[in-house]
């Protein structure tokens, strides 16, 4: 049950001296939300509207970034044995009663009721007609696990889900991309037994480290929250065994001394590891999380046949997310890069600027080539995979200087100029956003450079 709780102010102050994500320029703006908003205005990434408070409209360029994050994670999860599933958004309240959400989380959920009760199969029953919009994916994944007979040799079963989730946050608490009502997680649930825990946690921590390293984020904090003093479910031996495994894995994966214990701070259903980042404004965000759960498998009566033939073994559930909320991670990346996206995730990867209108044809040729085989394919349907880049063209009659300046402001990674000399040489004049040095390159060389950058996540 991955939460999105904020880290306490006390903890925040205690940690003020810790590392921070880069950016010195951001001090001039007051908050991360304002800063994000300013970048978004410039790059047209997202917007909001009072008709749906707390739900983000991702604009075309923001959606490009979001899709890259999702594609990145889908590919990593395949490597780690996850199978993606698509599960319902609305469930009858009886499901939420079974999962425990109705008792513990009802106020944070949206109710969904059809306008015409007669369309429901048991319309006279209130419970059969009332639905809750899901705040979490776990119950849906438990139901898939429970649909089939399971044996020990199938475990671990790993499901991933990028579904939208809704939580009814108070309207006054809504803020930018970090405090929202509708969001998406790179959510995953692992059904396993005690012998799998070390490996699964180690895999998850490695995935967390590798993922953040791609974004140049290396300073991450790990916290292990252990069994609460009083209210907890399951026997103490299981808790102790699980906690000692988590400690060992944290030592070997996060590194000795690189994690802290929050004694008694675990959820009542199991111990957990929280991963925190500090944004450019020294605010801490919980991003990744790994939570063991002894409770939900019991509520859903999940069973598998064990190696010794007993038919009622209960799996342990691990909830885990690496990015956490994609909206929140998007905000962290906005702070981190300040709009200077690395090439591979940049929604504006290159722009071609023909010097005058006689160069437009050649410029369009290059644009077409760099946009890749989705556009260039000769067949009626385009291929599913390939290298396809976001390349624009600026044909306006403005000066080269003015168009280049605007391209830099919009954050294009590469600016490609084209004049008589270039056409005579069969090359293009290529410069980056940050360096005015011009390099002459052929179209093949540019396309290959883009492929190399994407492959290296640069
Ligand atoms: Zn979960």
Q: Which domains does the chain have, with CATH numbers?
A: 9-89+134-337 (3.30.930.10), 343-455 (3.40.50.800)
Give the active site residue among 158, 181, 209, 272.
272
Q: 198 catalytic, yes or no?
A: no
Give the active site residue among 92, 98, 150, 185.
185
CA–CA gap between residue 187 and residue 323 (Å, rounded): 9
Per-residue tens of pLDDT for the chain, all 458 residues: 554 444 333 333 333 233 333 333 444 445 778 889 999 999 999 999 999 999 999 999 999 999 999 999 999 999 999 999 999 999 999 999 999 888 888 899 999 988 877 777 665 666 778 899 999 999 999 999 999 999 999 999 999 999 999 999 998 888 889 889 999 999 999 999 999 999 999 999 999 999 999 999 877 899 999 999 988 877 899 899 889 999 999 999 988 988 999 999 998 888 999 999 876 677 788 899 999 998 899 999 999 999 999 989 999 999 999 999 999 999 999 989 999 999 999 999 999 999 999 999 999 999 999 998 777 777 778 888 889 999 999 999 999 999 999 999 999 999 999 999 999 999 999 999 999 999 999 999 999 999 999 999 99
Q: 272 catalytic, yes or no?
A: yes
Q: 141 catalytic, yes or no?
A: no
Distance 428 CA to ligand 1 centre (A): 51
Q: 167 catalytic, yes or no?
A: yes
CA–CA gap between residue 229 and residue 231 (Å, rounded): 7
Give the active site residue among 189, 285, 320, 359.
189
Distance 321 CA to ligand 1 centre (A): 9
What does pTM read for this prediction?
A: 0.89
Distance 171 CA to ligand 1 centre (A): 25
Q: 138 catalytic, yes or no?
A: yes
Residues 6+ apart with CB under 8 A from 139: 91, 95, 96, 98, 99, 101, 296, 300
Report residue 350 as tokens: 């290159």
Q: 185 catalytic, yes or no?
A: yes
CA–CA gap between residue 44 and residue 38 (Å, rounded): 10
Distance 320 CA to ligand 1 centre (A): 7
Distance 323 CA to ligand 1 centre (A): 14
CA–CA gap between residue 262 and residue 273 (Å, rounded): 10
Distance 188 CA to ligand 1 centre (A): 7
Distance 243 CA to ligand 1 centre (A): 19
Other C-beta atoms lying within 10 Å of the C-beta of residue 376: 13
Other C-beta atoms lying within 10 Å of the C-beta of residue 295: 19
Q: 371 catalytic, yes or no?
A: no
Distance 138 CA to ligand 1 centre (A): 4
């Amino acid at each position: 049950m991955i939460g999105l709780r904020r880290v306490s102010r006390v903890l925040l102050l205690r940690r003020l001296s810790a590392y921070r994500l880069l950016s010195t320029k951001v001090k001039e703006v007051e908050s991360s939300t304002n800063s994000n908003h300013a970048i978004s205005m410039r790059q047209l990434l997202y917007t909001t509207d009072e008709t749906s408070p707390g739900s983000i409209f991702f604009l075309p360029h923001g959606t490009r970034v979001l899709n890259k994050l999702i594609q990145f994670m889908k590919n990593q999860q395949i490597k780690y044995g996850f199978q993606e599933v698509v599960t319902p958004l609305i469930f009858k309240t009886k499901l939420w009663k079974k999962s425990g959400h109705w008792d513990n989380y009802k106020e944070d959920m949206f109710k969904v009721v059809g306008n015409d009760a007669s369309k429901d199969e048991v319309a006279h029953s209130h419970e059969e007609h009332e639905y809750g919009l899901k705040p979490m994916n776990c119950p849906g994944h438990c139901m898939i696990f429970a649909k089939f007979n399971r044996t020990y040799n199938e475990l671990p079963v790993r499901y991933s889900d990028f579904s939208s989730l809704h939580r009814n946050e108070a309207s006054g608490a809504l803020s930018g991309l970090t405090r929202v009502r509708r969001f998406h997680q790179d959510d995953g649930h692992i059904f396993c037994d005690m012998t799998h825990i070390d490996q699964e946690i180690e895999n998850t921590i490695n995935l967390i480290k590798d993922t953040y390293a791609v974004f140049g984020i290396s300073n991450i904090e790990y916290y292990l929250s252990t069994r609460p003093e009083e209210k907890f479910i399951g026997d103490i031996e299981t808790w102790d065994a699980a906690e000692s495994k988590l400690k060992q894995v944290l030592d070997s994966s996060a590194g000795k001394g690189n994690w802290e214990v929050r004694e008694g701070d675990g959820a009542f259903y199991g111990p957990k590891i929280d991963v925190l980042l500090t944004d450019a404004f020294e605010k801490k965000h919980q991003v990744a999380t790994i939570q063991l759960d002894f409770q939900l498998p019991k509520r859903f009566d999940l069973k598998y046949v064990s190696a010794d033939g007993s038919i009622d073994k209960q799996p342990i559930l691990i909830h885990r997310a690496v990015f956490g909320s994609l909206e929140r991670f998007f905000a962290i990346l906005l702070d981190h890069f300040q709009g200077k996206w690395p090439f591979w995730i940049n929604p504006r990867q290159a722009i071609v600027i023909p010097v005058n209108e006689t160069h437009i044809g050649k410029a369009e040729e290059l644009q077409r080539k760099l946009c890749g085989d989705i556009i260039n394919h000769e067949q009626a349907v385009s291929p599913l995979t390939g290298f396809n880049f976001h390349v624009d063209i600026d044909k306006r009659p403005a000066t080269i200087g003015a168009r280049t300046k605007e391209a830099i402001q919009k954050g294009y990674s590469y600016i490609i100029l084209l004049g008589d000399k270039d056409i005579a040489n069969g090359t293009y004049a290529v410069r980056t956003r940050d360096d005015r040095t011009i390099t002459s390159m052929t179209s093949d060389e540019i396309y290959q450079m883009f492929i190399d950058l994407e492959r290296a996540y640069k």
